[in-house]
Amino acid sequence: MSTFSIRNLWKRYGEHVVLERLNLEVRSGEFCTLVGASGCGKTTFLKLLLGQEAPSRGQLLLDGRPLPAEPGPERGIVFQRYSVYPHLTVLDNVLLALELHRSRWLGRLFGRARRQAREQAAAMLEQVGLSDCLQRYPAELSGGMQQRLAIAQSLVRAPQVLLLDEPFGALDPGIRADMQLLIQRIWRETGVTVFMITHDLSEGFKLGTRLLVFDRPRHDPQAPQAFGATITYDIPLRNRRAGDLPPDLAERIAAREPTREESTP
């Protein structure tokens, strides 16, 4: 049982405050969906969780201990694109995850260890429905298949946390529904903690056990960058519906438009 604690977290780029006063406790096994208007700092929050960016103030704790300040094997991530390696076949992509993990220097396994890892990788690929194209290169896969591959690659050595930044944002609606089922099944089976950014509010409601809404509670028209976003709604999802959010907020999230009048500095 592990717990993520976020204590009074701030992130600013120069004068631009992106996130402020973030407080959050997430127990392991939760599925948090993150929504908010474009440019309000969701990706930035994920980068902080990942260790790719350092907080300007505040703490990120895993079971009371500060998280390592660089990306590591305890946290997996799938981006919207560029998540798989174009020079490796489907099987080798997943195998790479095991090899990097088990062979510190060469990142390569040999003989029995390699055969064993190959079997494990193939089993993982079977779970995401890619058994038919083990020897293909990513460029020969559709967008949805590439994202499946990325998920398989991230999950094959069971990270504690899986971070997803609009993983299905570039996919067709039909494929999207398949992918939602897939990620939900994998989440149930592995018990991994998930943070997933989405612009599709209904997706957020459908998949999560908890919906985190990012927005700016304070706003100064003279200095639009002076205040950052924070978690304004933290909704446990049992039998909630999108109607529970203020209507204008729901609209802004769905419309993918910048928060109020500014987005980029």
Choose between 21 and 157: whose C-beta lies nearer to another protein. 157
Check residue 103 for interaction with another protein (CB under 8 A).
yes
At 148, the amino acid letter reads R
* Binder among 65, 111, 139, 238 for another protein (CB under 8 A): 139
Choose between 41 and 138: whose C-beta lies nearer to another protein. 138
* Binder among 33, 43, 44, 83 for another protein (CB under 8 A): 83
Q: Give 166-171's long-range contacts (Cβ < 8 A, gap of 24+).
A: 166/80, 166/197, 166/198, 166/199, 167/78, 167/79, 167/80, 167/196, 168/198, 168/203, 169/80, 169/198, 169/199, 170/80, 170/81, 170/143, 171/143, 171/144, 171/147
* Binder among 1, 15, 70, 174 for another protein (CB under 8 A): 70
Distance of alpha carbon 149 from alpha carbon 139, whole angstroms: 12
Choose between 71 and 129: whose C-beta lies nearer to Mg ion. 71
Task: Give the nearest distance from C-beta 247 to ligand ATP in angstroms.
Answer: 20
* Binder among 3, 5, 52, 225 for another protein (CB under 8 A): 52
Torsion angle of the four alpha carbons 201, 206, 212, 213, in this order, in degrees rounded to the nearest 10: 20
Distance of alpha carbon 155 from alpha carbon 190, whole angstroms: 9
Check residue 216 for interaction with ligand ATP (CB under 6 A).
no
- Please give the size of the binding site for ligand ATP, defined by CB under 6 A: 14
H or E segment and range at residue 12: strand 3-13
Residues 30 to 49 in contact with ligand ATP, rule: CB under 6 A: 36, 38-44
Which residues, in sequence order, are bridge partners of residue 197? 34, 165
| Among Mg ion, ligand ATP, another protein, none, partner that 39 touches (CB below 5 to 8 angstroms by kind) | ligand ATP
| Among Mg ion, another protein, ligand ATP, none, partner that 41 touches (CB below 5 to 8 angstroms by kind) | ligand ATP
User: Count of alpha carbons within 13 Å of 46, Cβ hemisphere only?
Assistant: 26
φ and ψ at 55, to 5 degrees? -65, 150
Task: Give the nearest distance from C-beta 135 to another protein in angstroms.
Answer: 11
Tell me the per-residue interface mask from 7 to 46 with Mg ion, x by CB under 5 A, - otherwise: ------------------------------------x---
Range in contact with another protein (rule: CB under 8 A) among 25-33, 36-44, 131-139, 235-243: 131-139
State whether the Cα torsion 91-94-96-102 is positive or negative: negative
Distance of alpha carbon 109 from alpha carbon 98, whole angstroms: 9
In what side-by-side order are the strands of the sheet with 3-13?
16-27, 3-13, 57-62, 65-66
Q: Which residues bind ligand ATP (CB under 6 A)?
A: 13, 16, 18, 36, 38-44, 263-265
Q: Which residues bind another protein (CB under 8 A)?
A: 50, 52, 70-73, 75-77, 79-88, 96-97, 99-101, 103-108, 137-141, 143, 146, 153-154, 157, 159, 170
